[in-house]
Amino acid sequence: MSMDYSLPRGTQDILPDEINYWNHVEQTAKHIFSLYNFNEIRTPIFESSNLFNRVISESDIVKKEMYTFTDKGNRELALRPEGTAPIARAFITNNLSRAPQHSKLFYKGPMFRYERPQAGRYRQFHQIGVESIGSDHPFSDAEVITMSYRLFTSLGLRNVKIYINSVGSDTCRPVIEARIKQFLASNLSQLSENLQEKFKNNPLKMLDSKDETLQTYLSGLPDMREALSQQSKDHFNFVISYLDHLNIPFEYKPTLVRGLDYYTETVFEVVSEDLGAQNSICGGGRYNNLIKNLGGPQTPAVGFAFGMERLIMLLKKQSIPIPKRPVLVYIAALGKEYQMECLNIAEELRNNMINVTIDYSKVDFNGHIKLAQKMLADYMIIFGEKEFESKQVSIKNLANRHQDDVPFAGITNYFQTILGDAHV
Ligand code: ATP
Ligand code: MG
C-alpha cells in the first residue's frame, strides 16, 4: 500500500461491525436527553480560529493541539477541538437568547485535536454533549449531572465515579489562587520549571497535574471550599443537596479543575477505573462568562461532553451486551429461473419492514448457506424446483436448523408471527 494513501495518524475507520455500538450509544443518549427536553443542534465542524483563541487560549488545546488552516479566501479557520464554544457562538449568531425558554441543547459529532495518539486518545474523536444555556440556578447543574448519570447507568456501565468541585466565580478565583500559592510556596523549588511557570501564571491548573512530586504535596491540600465567596459556596452546596436528594452518588474532589479555561463554579468529571490511563469519560461544568466573552449577552450556562471512543471501549471491557441488530432473512434461489420470484418475495417482506438480503451470484444450496451464515443471517428462505412445484418455500431457522414449509402467500405472516413486534 502506498504511504500516501494510508489512514491519517490518530484517526480510525468505524466499520459496520463496530457501528452497532455507536448507534446504540447515540440512540440511548438521544432518548435520555429528550426525557429532559434537550433538543439537538448541529453546527459546522470548522469555525473561525478566533472563536477558540478567544475563550480557551490558556489551554493546551489552543496552545498545542488545534488543527488550523487558512482557506482560499485567507480566512483563519480551525477544525473544532470541542463543542461548547461553537454552540455559544451559535447561540449568539441565532439570537437564541430571545427564545421563550432557556436553551437546552445537545450535539454529537467529530472533534479534532493534534494529540499524541494512544489507547483512548485520537486526533479525530467523537463527542456527545449537552449545554443548558440561560439559567444560573444550581438545579441546572444538578440536572445535567443527573442526566449524565442516567445515561451511563442506562447503558449498563458499572464502577463509574462522578467527581465534583467548584472553581468559584471570577471574584473567588484570585482568592483560590492565593491559597494554592501559599500552600505550595515552600516546596516550589522542588518542582519542574514547567510547574513553576504554572505557579506564576495559572496556579489553578497545577491541581490536576499528573506530576508525582506535586501530587504528594497536593495530598495535604485543605478544603478549598473555604476560599469560595458566600454566593459560590451557596451555589455549590445547593448543587450537592440536589444531587443528594436525587440519590446521585458523587464525590467531592478539591483538586478537580477542568482543562478548559471558561469554567466557573461547578466542575465535574465522570471516570472509570476500568479504562487505564485515559480514565476520563465525561467532563463538564458551568460557564457563566463564556457567552458574554464572545460578545453576547451575559448568559449563565452549564454542560458536559463525553467521548464516544472511550465510552465504547468501556462497554466492551465490561462485556456489556448491546441490542442485537434486527432479524435478517436471506433468500436463496436454487437456480436462475427462480430469481425473479425471489425478488418479489424480498420486496414483499421489505414492504412489511423485515430486513432481507438476496444474492444472485450463487445458485446452489451449499454456496447459499455458507454465505448466509457468513452474513449472520437468522433465517434462510429456500426456493428451488421442489418449492416451485409445490408452491411452498422452505424457511430454515439458521440458529437451530428447524425448517418449515410455508405457502407463498403465507411468508410475510409466518415472519410476523414468529417475530412479533421484536423486529420493529
Ligand atoms: P483528557 O484529560 O483525557 O485529555 P480532556 O480533559 O481533554 O480529557 P474534555 O476536553 O473535557 O477532555 O473532553 C471530554 C471527553 O472527550 C473526555 O472525557 C474524553 O472522553 C473525550 N476526549 C477528549 N480528548 C480526546 C481524544 N484526544 N481522543 C478521544 N477522546 C477524547
Ligand atoms: Mg485533553
Of the listed ranges 71-80, 241-250, 274-283, 330-339, the least confidently predicted one is: 274-283
Residues 6+ apart with CB under 8 A from 300: 133, 134, 135, 136, 286, 288
Name the H helices within 254-307: 290-293
CA 207 to ligand 1 center in whole angstroms: 17
The per-residue pLDDT for range 287-321, each reduced to its tens digit, is: 999 999 999 999 999 999 999 999 999 999 999 99
Q: Which domains does the chain have, with CATH numbers?
A: 18-169+229-318 (3.30.930.10), 328-419 (3.40.50.800)
Average pLDDT (385-393) is 96
Q: Number of C-alpha atoms within 13 angstroms, CB side, residue 411?
A: 29
Alpha carbon nearest to ligand 1 atom 5, residue: 259
Q: If you average pLDDT over every residue of the chain, what do you get?
A: 94
Alpha carbon nearest to ligand 1 atom 22, residue: 307
- Mutate which of 280, 282, 309, 311 for ligand 1? The one with the most ligand atoms within 8 Å of its CB, which is 280
Q: Which ligand is nearest to the CA of 283?
A: 1
Burial pattern 342-377, b for ≥16 Cβ within 10 A else e, equals: beebbeebeeeebebebbeebbeeeebbebbeeeeb
The per-residue pLDDT for range 174-231, each reduced to its tens digit, is: 999 999 999 999 888 989 998 998 899 888 888 888 888 898 888 888 888 989 999 9
Judged by DSSP in three states, 163 sits in strand
Alpha carbon nearest to ligand 1 atom 26, residue: 121
Q: Is the CB of 121 under 6 A from ligand 1?
A: yes
Nearest atom in ligand 1 to the alpha carbon of residue 305 is: 14
Q: Whose grid coordinates read 465515579?
A: 161
User: Whole-angstrom Cα distance, residue 21 to residue 13?
Assistant: 14
Alpha carbon nearest to ligand 1 atom 2, residue: 280
pTM over 0.85: yes
> What is the C-alpha end-to-end distance of the chain, expressed in Å?
42
